[in-house]
Amino acid sequence: MSKIMTPAMEKINSRRKGGMRGRSTPAKDAWRRLMRNKMAIVGMIIIIVLLLMAIFAPLIAPYGYSDMDVINMLSGPSKEHWFGTDQLGRDMLSRCIYGARITLPIAIFTVALACLFGGVLGVLCAYFSGQFDNIVMRILDIWGSIPGIMLSIAVVAALGNNMYVLVIGLSVGAVPNMARTFRGAIFTVVDNDYVEASRSIGAGNFRIMFKHLLPNAVGPVILAVVQLLGVEVLCVSMLSFLGVGVQPPTPEWGSLLSTGKEFLNTASYLCIFPGIFIVLTVLGFNLLGDGLRDALDPRLK
């Protein structure tokens, strides 16, 4: 039967001639699917912009975050101050930009810490199963039933009111969920024959868990990490709003909201702009998270 050339085949052939015959791995497939999702790309752009903003804050912000322009106290958005000034004459735009420098690192470190502890716990639970799993999961259930914000406040109250303690406090609240995510992810791969094959060639538990199981279970974990980042940004803002962790004059968005709420009637822009930043950040992570979930879903292949 002589081959029939269809338009699709010609397209593939010309792509191949152009040297694009790469080996496709599941990771590359997922990336391609992600790139086709417009909302996910929007989310990614938002996050990249915010990250750049945080990194290059001193270069981008028109003023320092505590520079006071006393004459123009509480003035609305204008040419000199795009986002207006607060009650001490500080430029809101600069304070919002510097705010990214506070919120994002705290959120990132929190998630990293939660991944470390929750991850190890989750992997151990899924691998060893049985009584160990039962006991640890029940402890995590109790731990997780305490609202994260309450836990964080308790930790800060115990250890001192600064940013580092805030990170610890927030991650304590996030560990149970992370542990459950890692545990669930490992469960999906722990039954594979290659686990037993590794045992038969002499691999120890540690090697199997961290070299074979974890890298193969990474999909749901990446998704949870991105979603948790969004959640933690919100949590950081919530706690700063309550005066926990970040103290003025540090320009964290939540604490900006807190000071701004006194002036809601007269200078609502003091709340609107930080609020927009919070919303945008969380939105960015959520959009990326949704896109990732679709991209990693094997059934949509």
Regarding 198 and contact with another protein (CB under 8 A), the answer is: yes
Regarding 127 and contact with another protein (CB under 8 A), the answer is: no
Question: Is the CB of 23 or the CB of 79 nearer to another protein?
Answer: 23
- CA distance linking residue 142 with residue 11, whole number of Å: 57
> Is the Cα dihedral 65, 68, 73, 76 positive or negative?
negative
Q: Residue 191's CB: how many other CB atoms inside 10 A?
A: 8
Regarding 194 and contact with another protein (CB under 8 A), the answer is: yes
- CA distance linking residue 61 with residue 251, whole number of Å: 13
Beta-ladder partners of 85: 91
Regarding 201 and contact with another protein (CB under 8 A), the answer is: yes
For 104-150, give the DSSP string: HHHHHHHHHHHHHHHHHHHHHHHHH-HHHHHHHHHHHHHHHHS-HHH
Regarding 129 and contact with another protein (CB under 8 A), the answer is: no
Question: Is the CB of 158 or the CB of 202 nearer to another protein?
Answer: 202
Residues numbered 212-231 forming contacts with another protein, rule: CB under 8 A: 212, 215-216
In the bound complex, what is the minimum distance in angstroms from residue 124's beta carbon to another protein?
19
Q: Please choose, out of 200-208, 222-230, 273-281, 288-296, the segment that lies near another protein by the rule CB under 8 A.
A: 200-208
| Tokens (6 digits) for 54 | 């945080």
Regarding 297 and contact with another protein (CB under 8 A), the answer is: no
Question: Is the CB of 211 or the CB of 261 nearer to another protein?
Answer: 211
Q: Do 259 and 252 form a contact (C-beta atoms < 8 A)?
A: no
Q: Please choose, out of 24-32, 54-62, 111-119, 268-276, the segment that lies near another protein by the rule CB under 8 A.
A: 24-32
Q: Do 144 and 173 form a contact (C-beta atoms < 8 A)?
A: no
- CA distance linking residue 289 with residue 219, whole number of Å: 11
Question: Is the CB of 49 or the CB of 197 nearer to another protein?
Answer: 197
DSSP letter at 178 equals H
Regarding 35 and contact with another protein (CB under 8 A), the answer is: no
Regarding 9 and contact with another protein (CB under 8 A), the answer is: yes
Whether the link from the prior residue into 105 is cis, omega within 30° of 0, is no
Where does this chain bind another protein (CB under 8 A)? 1-4, 6, 8-9, 12, 23-26, 29, 32, 192-194, 196-204, 207, 212, 215-216
